[in-house]
Structure 1
Amino acid sequence: MIASSVASSVASVGWGDVFDFRDYGALLELVHNSLYAGALLGLVGGLVGVLVMARDLPFAVHGTSELSFAGGAAALLLGVDVVLGSLVGSVLAAVLFGVLGNRAREHNSAVGVLMPFGLGLGVLFLALYEGRAANKFGLLTGQIVAVDDPQLVSLAVISAVVLLALLVLWRPLLFASLDPELAAARGVPVRLLSPVFMLVLGLAVAMSVQVVGALLVLALLVTPAAAALRVSSSPYVVPLLSVLFAVVAVVGGTLLALGSTVPISPYVTTVSFLLYLGCRLVARLRRPAQRPGEPQRPRAVEAL
């Protein structure tokens, strides 16, 4: 009986209940800040994601997002700026992960210990918060349509800091990520770069949590770079493709959601996933002899 009730409910929901583009032009005028924020996040997330994949740290992205979520939830409970709280949580996670381990295995152990702690704290803070339920939900799944001028300025400042750090440190970071032994032999400060990169990652995660929420950060900081690595191994093409895919996912997801009753986050993650599937298909057609599941890595060492 339950199954038939669910089936009838699903059948009663038509596409007209999900998509409605009649007021699309008027709605588009209201989301300029959201589109700017999405473009900034795509630029930063696409670049940082390349280094995340090169350093084999997707798990650390998720762990950082959980502590960023805890910081945002604490700020919400205390009545202070949520962006600041998320930023503090992300920076704290970056410092802890950078100190507790320099190798991928050590990072994973540290993340596995701290991630449930951060998630538990965030859930506790939200349970104590008595304000609007939409604020709680937004920390988990994002609220890009609610980007106001002060928040956009905050995102722009964080983006500028991250981009400046990447501009200065890109070559040594990529070198140390792909071949740490050779990089150390050539005088690159590999051990120092690890906490520095984790700090940059923390800033990028703090941005992402404000847009897509703590649960969906991987869709912007991992999936676009993973897709780009499927179709290219060039140290120059991969970052460009990763940024392009991330911007398309965020901005495209926002534009699609304007004519829908469904929240933005599912569109962002779906577009990102479809781009990844498309790149896998292209890789399979171009390299039929390549084993499935074997990711490409940019041949950047020779170019450094």
Structure 2
Amino acid sequence: MRMATMRNGRAAMLDDFFVRALLAGIGVALTAGPLGCFVVWRKMAYLGDTMAHSALLGVALALLFNIQTTIGVFAIALVMSAILILLQRRATLATDALLGILAHSSLALGLVVVAFMTWVRVDLMGYLFGDILAVSRLDVGIIYGGGLLVIAALVWLWRPLLAATVDAELAAAEGLKPERARIVFMLLMALVIAIAMKIVGIVLITALLIIPAATARRLAATPEAMAGMAALLGAFAAAGGLFASLQFDTPSGPSIVVAALVLFLASLTPAASFAARSLRSMRPS
């Protein structure tokens, strides 16, 4: 009798919040994977960290003005992107120094604002490390709606972005407007961070962007194949991490990142290297 009750309880759980969490995790991973490829190619991991750290300030301001947190995070990420672009044009400091200043000051400012809002109870652990099991149907809709926008923009800007990543001056000479592509890329980063925050949290967003893309880079033969493989690997990591979290009662966001890490470590094995070489040799010339 007790076993039947437990099975029924688990089935109900899988039919409700766990399914929403699974859909949300896969949706974020499918979006973050292709975008993460450009982060890896452009060596912009620290930019992802900076925009992710600013998310807490966006959360604090959203709570202060009683607006949707995704909107607040997206707005602050856009502001940080604009500030970075303006400071880079003045060339007073190296980019890594600017990113460090923006990352840590925005995170600290967010914590200070949250501390002053004594009338609001804020789950800092949930924002820092994610609370995927608490996603609502509205959250899932926002994730897939935002994800479709990001993927559509990437498809539209694929050639300019790729050309600017390889050689910005050559892309400009060909009339591909690399500066515009860069601005749109940062806008897409802001959108992905806003929709991914609830899944893996502020601290782990960059890992979800980078690790599947880095894994795909070892296996794929073309940029397009790498983008598609990064999306699939991220989806596998999201599903595997969630089921591992359910099985071992571990935090969901960190479990997803650990699953992505396991896939990356697997790609370092001789068997994975042999499979990658075989796929490349089968590529038509």
Q: TM-score, normalised by structure 2?
A: 0.85
Equivalent position SS for 1:236: helix
Per-residue deviation, residues 196-255 of structure 1 (Å, max 9, x unmatched) = 211111111111212111000122111110111122341222111100111111222122
- Structure 2: how far apart are the matches of 1:51 and 1:75? 29
SS of residue matched to 1:259: helix
SS in structure 2 of the partner of residue 215 of structure 1: coil
Q: Helix, strand or coil: the match of 1:222?
A: helix
Could you say which residue in structure 1 is the equivalent of 2:12? 26
Q: 1:21 to 1:119 in 2, by over 3 A?
A: farther
The match for 2:250 is 262
Q: Distance in 2 between matches of 1:196 and 1:132?
A: 35
Does the 8 A contact of 1:231 with 1:283 survive in 2? no
| Cα deviations by residue, 1:131-185 (Å, 9 ceiling, x for unpaired) | 445x222110111111112222222222122122112101210111122232222
Quickly say closer, same or farther: Cα 1:184–1:90, change in 2 above 3 A. same
Shift of residue 110, structure 1, vs aligned partner: 2.4
Q: C-alpha displacement at 1:36, in angstroms? A: 1.6
Name 1:210's counterpart in structure 2: 198
Q: Which residue of 1 is the match for residue 152 of structure 2?
A: 164
Q: Return the alpha-carbon distance in structure 1 between the equivalents of residues 209 and 201 of structure 2.
A: 12
Contact 2:219 2:272 in 1 (8 A): no
Rounded Cα–Cα distance in structure 2 between residues aligned with 1:25 and 1:106: 54
Q: Is the 8 A contact 1:172 1:188 kept in 2?
A: yes
Distance in 1 between residues matched to 2:19 and 2:272, nearest whole Å? 38
Q: 1:92 aligns with which of 60, 72, 79?
A: 79
The Cα shift of 1:282 comes to: 4.2
User: Structure 1 residues 284 and 165 mapped into 2: Cα distance closer, same or farther (>3 Å)?
Assistant: closer
Question: How many pairs align?
Answer: 267
Query: Partner letter of residue 268 of structure 2?
Result: R
- Kindly report which structure 2 residues correspond to 1:265-284, keeping only aligned pairs within 5 A, or say none: 265-282=253-270
Q: 1:138, 1:146 → 2: CA distance?
A: 10
Whole-Å Cα distance in 1 between the matches of residues 196 and 109 of structure 2?
19
Q: Which amino acid is 1:278 matched to?
A: A
Deviation at 1:23, TM superposition (A): 4.5
The alpha-carbon deviation at position 284 of structure 1 amounts to: 8.1
Q: Calculate the TM-score normalised by the size of structure 1.
A: 0.80
Q: Deviations over 1:114-145 (max 9, x none)?
A: 11111101211232344445x22211011111
Alignment map for 1:1-304 (pairs within 5 Å): 23-30=9-16, 31-101=18-88, 106-130=94-118, 131-132=120-121, 135-282=123-270, 285-286=273-274
Structure 2 Cα separation of the partners of residues 53 and 106 of structure 1:
20
SS at match of 1:214: coil
Confirm or deny: 8 A CA contact 2:267 2:273 kept in the other structure.
no
Instruction: Using the aligned pairs only, state the percent identity.
Output: 28
Secondary structure in structure 2 of the residue aligned to 1:80: coil
Gaps of 5+ in 2: 1-5, 276-284
Structure 1 pair 284–34 and aligned structure 2 pair: CA distance change class (3 A): closer
- How many angstroms does 1:21 deviate by? 8.5
List alignment gaps of at least 5 residues for structure 1. 1-19, 288-302
Moved more, 149-158 or 139-148: 149-158
Distance, in Å, in 2 between the alignment partners of 1:176 and 1:56 is: 13
Question: Does structure 2 conserve the Cα–Cα contact (< 8 Å) formed by 1:142 and 1:214?
Answer: yes
- Code of the aligned partner of 1:121: L
Q: Please, which moves more after superposition, 211-220 or 257-266?
A: 257-266
